[in-house]
Amino acid sequence: MNRILSLLVLAFFLGSTSANAQTYDPIKGCVIDANGECLPNAILSAMPFLRIIPDARGGAMGDVGIATSADPNAMHYNASKLAFVEKDMSFSATYTPWLRNLGLTDVYMTYLSGFKKVDDLQSLGFSLRFFSLGEINFTNFNGDPSGTGKPRELEFAFAYSRKMSENFSMGLTAKYIYSNLASGQQVGGVAITSANAFAADISFSYRKKGNLTAYGSEWLFGGSLSNLGSKVSYTQSEFRDFLPANLGLGAGLVLNFDEYNSMGFYFDMNKLLIPSPISSTIFDEDGNIIVNPDYDPNMNGIPDYKEQSMFSAVVGSFGDAQGGISEEFRELNYSLGIEYWYDKQFAVRAGYYYEHPQKGDRQFITVGAGLKYNVFALDISYLVPTNNRRNPLDNTLRFTIQFDFEALQGDIE
């Protein structure tokens, strides 16, 4: 299994600089292979671990979290929600086993997050994400050993959120990101180094009480621009990859049926704000395959869509797909989640996540549960793919523990 991971790391570096040899077919609206079959054309970025859902609550509801009630894990989804927290201080820890279906036991992600309420208008938040890829036995292209390594990635984030009105809040998050996948190794004679980056999130939340039931209801809306930051490189070359900048929009509705029973319905939509891949060749009007003039106009060996600045990539990502508006819609990912609470102590959750087959093809159902008792809260989640694609979280339980300092202080007093 270590050799599998080694090959994946090497493929990342080769894939980041190699030309796209497939051809775009405007009639089928997709990239095709030599047999005329549509191929996946997913958007790729550096440091994709930044988009992994870190907590069991969101993981049990199809990865929703932009417009759910606030908890410490809002740091990942939408930090502006922290302005609405009622507790004074809370911390959360999540452990996510990774690739357990392949028999790996040393690949995992941990996520620590927390918040401190400053006053009725302001809150501060922090998070620390650590992704371990275990120990890898590296080999060269001939299969000869070339050393061992322990690839790892890290994100540290600090957020400030503030109520701008009774129902509206905004948040700003600053991040430092570190990625060491194969430092000291070489690919094609190019030395591999670690990568560092700085990024920011900008988020907002809106909440409005309603009376859809006799015991009240609440509408929730939110949005987040995340991972807006510097491009990164794992080598000394000038070529740099994009961070997984993302636009997320969410909506939710909470219905209180009586003093014991309530249910929340949530919907998230996400889009990566980085350039869509384009093919090096296309069909002309006569059906002949020709070089795509938009692929590398300056003939420097690097596709032009990869040479854009972060700002131009974000702005252009809404209309740069070869397939036009139809392909742009394929780049949207959708999450649906349901959460039932009994007496605000026991929760049952379910959800569904959908990504277009040509843009990654992640499709899965999730389930989970939660339990709150004074100081502690425990959440678990489980994922079941709905297509033939294997998922790193197949047959895996994810756990989150939350610790409420305000409740502890009350018990002591």
pTM score of the predicted model? 0.89
For 351-391, write each residue's pLDDT tens digit.
Answer: 999 999 889 889 999 999 999 988 889 999 999 998 877 78
3-state helix/strand/coil string of 191-231 = ECCCEEEEEEEEEEEEEEEECCCCCCEEEEEEEEEEEEECC
Q: How far apart are CA 150 and CA 182, in angstroms?
A: 8
Give the CA angle between residues 388, 391, 393 to the nearest 5°: 140
* H or E, element range at 334: strand 332-342
Dist CA 333 CA 180 (whole Å): 28
Copy the structure tokens of residue 84.
């609405």
Q: Say whether pLDDT at 134 is over 80.
A: yes
Whole-angstrom distance, CA of residue 114 vs CA of residue 71: 8
Is 169:80 a contact under the CB 8 Å cutoff? yes
Q: Which residues of 54-84 are buried (b: 16+ CB within 10 A; e: fewer)?
A: bbbbbbbbbbbbbbbbbbbbbbbbbbbbbbb
- The whole-number average pLDDT for the span 214-230 is 95
> pLDDT averaged over the chain?
86
Q: Mind listing the pLDDT tens digit for each residue in 68-86?
A: 999 999 999 999 999 999 8
CA nearest neighbour of 128 among 183, 172, 72, 82: 72
Report d(CA 218, CA 213) in Å as an integer: 10
Q: What whole-number distance in Å separates Cα of residue 6 and Cα of residue 148? A: 10
State both tokens at 301.
């060996």
- The per-residue pLDDT for range 141-182, each reduced to its tens digit, is 667 777 777 889 999 999 999 999 999 999 999 999 999 987
Tokens of 363: 């499709």
Query: Given this model, what pLDDT does residue 21 score?
Result: 55
pLDDT bucket at 193, cuts 50 / 70 / 90: confident
Do 256 and 234 form a contact (C-beta atoms < 8 A)?
no
- pLDDT confidence tier of residue 24, bands split at 50, 70 and 90: confident
DSSP string, 124-155: EEEEEEEEE---EEEE-TTS-EEEEE--EEEE
Question: Which pLDDT belongs to residue 409?
Answer: 53
Q: How far apart are CA 349 and CA 264, in angstroms?
A: 9
- 43 is written with which tokens? 């958007």
Per mean pLDDT, which range of 211-225, 233-247, 250-264 is the poorest?
233-247
Count CA atoms within 13 Å of residue 285 on its CB side. Answer: 0
Tokens 């991972």 — which residue? 227
CA 222 to chain centre: 16
Domains of the chain: 2-412 (2.40.160.40)
Place of tokens 């949207």: 332
